[in-house]
Structure 1
Amino acid sequence: MEAETRAALVVQPGEAGGASLSDGAFELLADGGAVSASRLTLKTGADGAPPHHHKLSHEAFYVLGGTMLFRLGDTLTTVGKGGLVVIPPGLPHVFGAADGEEADVFVVLSPGIERFGYFEKLAAISRGEAELDSLIPEQDRYDVHFENMSHWRSVT
């Protein structure tokens, strides 16, 4: 019986892929497998991804700096540096830098799904180079299922 070969993923500084947003940037660290991981920096008050949920993956956010605002279902939550948010599959959510704040956050999805293409398209949408509707046919592929949460920064 042959021994199973296992290899660790090591991403050195400067090796990650990147995608610039109109109000920030993604650093794409790991894609698929056990986890998908990225680092997201957002300018003051900028939104992250559009409102969505995941059918398959848990999503974890660790705030490296600044303050994030999350809408988790019908609940608004502000999380500062050192805070952690873990979102289970099926929970509608959306996030961004809190009003008047920048944010720096490490994001992990598990199990991982190949999502770099999603982030690249999302970045193009944020820069006005593509329409959000172009991601609608890709919802199952990227496990990002869009939600209608207009005016997500307030719960009425």
Structure 2
Amino acid sequence: MSYPEQIPYPEPRYHGDKGEVNAVFRPADTPAGVSSPGGSTHFLATHASTGGEFGLYKAELGPRSAGASTHFHKAMSESFYVLSGELELYDGEKWVTGRAGDFLYVPVGGLHAFKNVTDEPMSMLMLFSPGAPREEYFERVAEMAQRGGEELEQFRVRHDSYFVD
């Protein structure tokens, strides 16, 4: 396979000559950012820790977890990578079963949804790009869903989540 002489890369954002010591390590045993009887969310790389480049979260859904109904985002893409178990993923047209190693990329504006319809727990990575401060969304979504109404709608919009059902 041949490659072109000039490959289009993004413009440099680091202009130093020697590199920097600035990596961030997160041990596997770091507690989840949010835990509930239905699952947990681990804040692996947040808007704050990546300077807004991306957000990476590990979500664990318990058996028969509702997940999120059909929605879209106006400011960010969302990607799903199934680590274990099975997850029903809606790609805007149809539901597909995601299993360990399966990946779904949803561009900005793309309709999507997910749920665990099995009797087993599952885990996945969710990547948002660019990064947004999603931690409050994960921390408060259950509480806001119970409140419902206009308060829930405003909360969702503030977090770039536009639900269609």
Answer yes or no: same fold by TM over 0.5.
yes
Q: Which residue of 2 aligns with 1:24?
A: 39
Code of the aligned partner of 2:96: T
Size of the aligned set, in residue pairs, is 145
Q: 1:19·1:25 contact (CA, 8 Å) conserved in 2?
A: yes
Q: Check whether the contact 2:144–2:152 (CA below 8 A) recurs between aligned residues.
A: no
**Which letter maps to 1:112?**
G
Task: Report how far residue 72 of structure 1 moved.
Answer: 1.8
TM value normalised by structure 1: 0.79
Distance 1:125 1:137, change over 3 A: closer
Name the structure 2 match of 1:131. Answer: 148
Q: Aligned partners of 1:80, 1:66: CA distance in 2, in Å?
A: 6
- Structure 1: tracts of 5 or more residues without a match: 149-156
Q: TM-score, normalised by structure 2?
A: 0.75
Q: In structure 1, what is the Cα distance between the partners aligned to 2:33 and 2:22?
A: 24
The equivalent position to 1:64 in structure 2, one of 83, 93, 113, is 83
* Identical-residue share of aligned pairs (%): 27
Q: Considering only aligned residues, what root-mean-square deviation do their CA atoms show, in Å?
A: 2.4
Give 3-state SS (helix, strand or coil) of 1:7's partner.
Answer: coil
- Does the residue aligned with 2:85 lie in a helix, a strand or coil? strand
Give every structure 1 segment of 4 or more consecutive aligned residues whose post-TM-superposition deviation is greater than 4 Å. Answer: none
- Structure 1 range deviating more: 91-100 or 57-66: 91-100
Residue 146 of structure 1 is matched in structure 2 by 163
Distance 2:126 2:160 in 1: 15
Which amino acid counterpart does residue 76 of structure 2 have in structure 1? S
Partner of 1:51: 70
Structure 1 counterpart SS, 2:23: coil
1 or 2 for the larger relative contact order (CA 8 Å, sep ≥6)? 1
